[in-house]
Amino acid sequence: MKKTNLTGLTADEIEKFVVSLGEKRFRAKQLYSWIYTRLATQFDEMTNLSKDFRARLNEVATIATLEKVKSIRSSESNTQKFLFKLNDGAQIESVFIPEPRRKTVCLSSQVGCALGCQFCATATLGFKRDLKRREIIAQLMAIMREVDEDITNVVFMGMGEPFLNYDEVIAACRLMNHPDGLAVGNRRIVISTCGIVPAIRRFADENQPFKLAISLNAPTDELRNRIMPINKKYPLSTLISAARYYSLKARFRVTFEYVLIAGVNDSVQDARMLRKLLSGFPCKINLIPLNPFSPDWKRPSEDQVNRFAAEFYDMHAVVSVRWSRGADIQAACGQLAAK
């Protein structure tokens, strides 16, 4: 008989499972807590469950974990990047980013990616498949076990496009947000999308409590078409109006990400066009100097980044520059798996 994998099951699903074994409901709470609070992987650890129940669990269930292929730690920042192997042999990357006031985990949502953004390392891998809810949550749990720190924030900025795997990503967010389990605050879970317009509207209509970030990366359709082919399907006007729709409905500021690429989208002129595009829109802007992985695309100088950022200082938008942590560990997502 195939054993039931409990990793990724919701509280309700675990309860159903426990009841199906003829056990009392409250046992499900204990089991849930062992899995998601104590991150147990062996039933024998679960000392408040009866010996018989543990033996039964050993027969019929497992708590599957991801196989770590390798991990590298940045000597500058202690950022740690992990390469995990899935059951079918596919590999994905996840990152642990410790900062003084928050400990963030960056998760993958797909194996590879279909979007073909020109400056992105994952794009060179092509698309293999969507991740399951349990494979998404297992990345977080594996890193929690490895680093032994309280994870405060989760971002979907690893491999893949989370809004092309909407159901599994939202299910994983619900699980990591569950107060009796992993308990990551809903406002500390950020889903980053390249701009899948129907999914942004759906996210708004469903009143999802998680945070939204949109990768803009260019101020005009002409440039965006060139570096992010998805823009041909969902051009800037439709993307910005979906973002406004979300922002009004959710009453939260949207974050726009803008990867700065030398000589491509980093001029003061580009900054002014971006400013115009977002004028009157109370949003946040994260400027991300490119993590180069091929000689074709370069990171702008610090001066150029500052000149670009300075164009926004008097706006209502909150601008911050996110220098990548871990250039020495190939921080551009997809770089490790591509090797």
Nearer to ligand SAH, 272 or 298 (CB): 298
Residue 214 to residue 228: CA distance in whole angstroms: 13
Alpha helix segments (H runs only) across 102-219 = 133-147, 166-177, 197-205
Report the sign of the C-alpha dihedral through residues 175, 180, 182, 187, in that order: positive
Report how far apart, in Å, the C-alpha atoms of 126 and of each of 39, 57, 118, 130, 291 are. Answer: 33, 39, 12, 12, 19
- CB of 294: closest distance to ligand SAH in angstroms? 9
Within 210-239, which residues bind ligand SAH (CB under 6 A)?
Answer: 215, 217
Taking CB under 6 A as the binding criterion, the range among 19-27, 89-97, 290-298, 308-316 that sits at the site for ligand SAH is 290-298
Catalytic residue among 15, 93, 168, 257: 93
- Identified binder of ligand SAH from the candidate list 257, 274, 319, 326, rule CB under 6 A: 257
| Residue among 43 and 156 whose Cβ is closer to ligand SAH | 156
- Choosing from 154, 200, 243, 332, the residue that interacts with ligand SAH (CB under 6 A) is 332
Nearer residue to ligand SAH within complex by CB, 39 or 262: 262
Strands 110-112, 127-130: pairing kind? antiparallel
Reading phi first (left if > 0) and then psi (alpha if -120 to 50, else beta), residue 295 is in: alpha
Contacts of ligand SAH in 45-104 (CB under 6 A) = none
List 23, 93, 135, 161, residue binding ligand SAH (CB under 6 A) = 161
Q: Which stretch binds ligand SAH (CB under 6 A): 28-36, 86-94, 128-136, 289-297?
A: 289-297
Of the candidate spans 25-33, 115-123, 128-136, 137-145, the one that interacts with ligand SAH by CB under 6 A turns out to be: 115-123
Residue 184 burial by CB count (10 A; 0-12/13-18/19+): exposed, middle or buried? buried
Could you say which of 104, 193, 231, 255 contacts ligand SAH (CB under 6 A)? 193
User: What count of other Cβ atoms lies within 10 Å of the Cβ of residue 64?
Assistant: 16
Supply the residues annotated as catalytic: 93, 333
